[in-house]
């Protein structure tokens, strides 16, 4: 807890293009959290280089992601929005925590196994120690809560283990974080395979709606969305494609599921998919317009980057001074 507020930390990788799933499942719900938490939203660029990146493209995507945070409604005056690579404490603490993490723990991480299989030609040490850097991200700001999906839950458990291990040796140094249990966004699935989550890395361009897709593209993708042969609009696991479209529609309109099902009673799939596409386009157009405004205001975006990096560094350094002292490193002469 800092300044009488609990601390919430989260972030997104600066790779790929954000999808509707990223927006409805996370970004849209981050907007109001500053009322109750001291929030840190990181543009995760250090994690991104476990896979080879084009330098110019990585810089561009990182800046675009930061602007999308703001365009989505996350106020940089109320929230700390910053680049992970601009706060040296992330890397410094990650090295220290590596020395309090066991190789056996890292070998059990399912994401390491998955990524090693996908990138067999580049199984670097960063892939293995990725969860330790994630632990450093969280513990650096003494985060009380972290919004995580099922795929990251194992990493948060490791973070808790590392924090408790360090605390058992040196005393009360780190806050042991919990999973954020507040309002969660709906889980948005692929438009082409509703058994899988919508992903920015999906090879099928029709599977995902990207935040910068224009209206025509959005409508076209929804027209091609997988449904079924039932011919009725019901919110049931037996109709995963229809259920996913209803989730999307409700998330964009604010309507509850029962009202949406009633609204589309007797409606054909074609008209239903068109209505969902229209709702999504209406939701994203203001975000896209704000993004374009930010893209043209370099001075403002640069000022956000500078001021928020300083704010993040201030809080990070408070933790690092404590950690360095506990471990036994020489005091820095200022």
Residues carrying an active site annotation: 115, 197, 200
CA 51/CA 196 separation, integer angstroms? 23
* Of residues 310, 288, 290, the one with CA closest to residue 82: 310
Q: Where are the alpha helices (DSSP H) in the chain?
A: 20-22, 28-30, 55-71, 89-98, 103-107, 110-118, 125-139, 153-170, 215-223, 240-253, 257-263, 269-295, 298-327
CA 93/CA 319 separation, integer angstroms? 9
DSSP states of 206-274 = TS--BTT--HHHHHHHHHT----SS-S---STTSHHHHHHHHHHHHHH---HHHHHHHTTT--HHHHHH
CB atoms within 10 A of CB 53: 16
CA 95/CA 89 separation, integer angstroms? 10
Show Cβ contacts of residue 221 under 8 Å, excluding neighbours closer than 6 positions. 191, 206, 209, 213, 277
CA 256/CA 222 separation, integer angstroms? 20
**Tokens matching residue 130:** 């990725």
In angstroms, the Cα distances linking 290 to 33, 276, 281 are: 20, 22, 14
Residue 186 is classified by DSSP as P
**Tokens matching residue 287:** 């975000």
Show Cβ contacts of residue 207 under 8 Å, excluding neighbours closer than 6 positions. 190, 191, 192, 193, 198, 199
């Amino acid at each position: 807890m800092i300044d009488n507020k609990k601390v919430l930390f989260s972030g997104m990788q600066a790779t790929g293009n954000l999808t509707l799933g990223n927006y409805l499942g996370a970004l849209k719900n981050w907007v109001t959290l500053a009322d109750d938490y001291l929030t840190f939203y990181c543009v995760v660029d250090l994690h991104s280089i476990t896979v080879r990146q084009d330098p110019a493209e990585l810089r561009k995507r990182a800046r675009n992601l930061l602007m999308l945070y703001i365009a989505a409604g996350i106020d940089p005056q109320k929230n700390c929005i910053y680049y992970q690579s601009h706060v040296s404490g992330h890397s410094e603490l990650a090295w220290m925590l590596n020395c309090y993490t066991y190789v056996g723990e890292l070998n059990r991480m399912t994401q390491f196994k998955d990524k090693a299989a996908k990138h067999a030609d580049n199984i670097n040490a960063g892939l293995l120690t990725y969860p330790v850097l994630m632990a450093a991200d969280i513990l650096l700001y003494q985060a009380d809560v972290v919004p995580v999906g099922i795929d990251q839950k194992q990493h948060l458990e490791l973070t808790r283990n590392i924090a408790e291990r360090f605390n058992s040796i040196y005393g009360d140094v780190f806050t042991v974080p919990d999973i954020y249990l507040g309002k969660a966004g709906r889980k948005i699935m692929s438009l082409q395979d509703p058994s899988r989550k919508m992903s920015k890395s999906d090879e099928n361009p029709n599977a995902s709606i990207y935040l910068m897709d224009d209206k025509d593209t959005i409508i076209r993708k929804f027209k091609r969305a997988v449904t079924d042969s039932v011919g009725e609009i019901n919110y049931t696991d037996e109709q995963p494609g229809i259920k996913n479209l209803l989730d999307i529609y409700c998330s964009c309109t604010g309507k509850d599921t029962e009202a949406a099902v009633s609204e589309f009673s007797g409606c054909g799939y074609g008209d239903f998919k068109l209505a969902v596409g229209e709702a999504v386009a209406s939701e994203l157009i203001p975000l896209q317009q704000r993004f374009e405004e930010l893209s043209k205001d370099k001075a403002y975006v640069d000022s956000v980057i500078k001021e928020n990096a300083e704010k993040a560094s201030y809080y990070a350094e408070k933790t690092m001074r404590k950690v360095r002292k506990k471990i036994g490193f020489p005091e820095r002469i200022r």
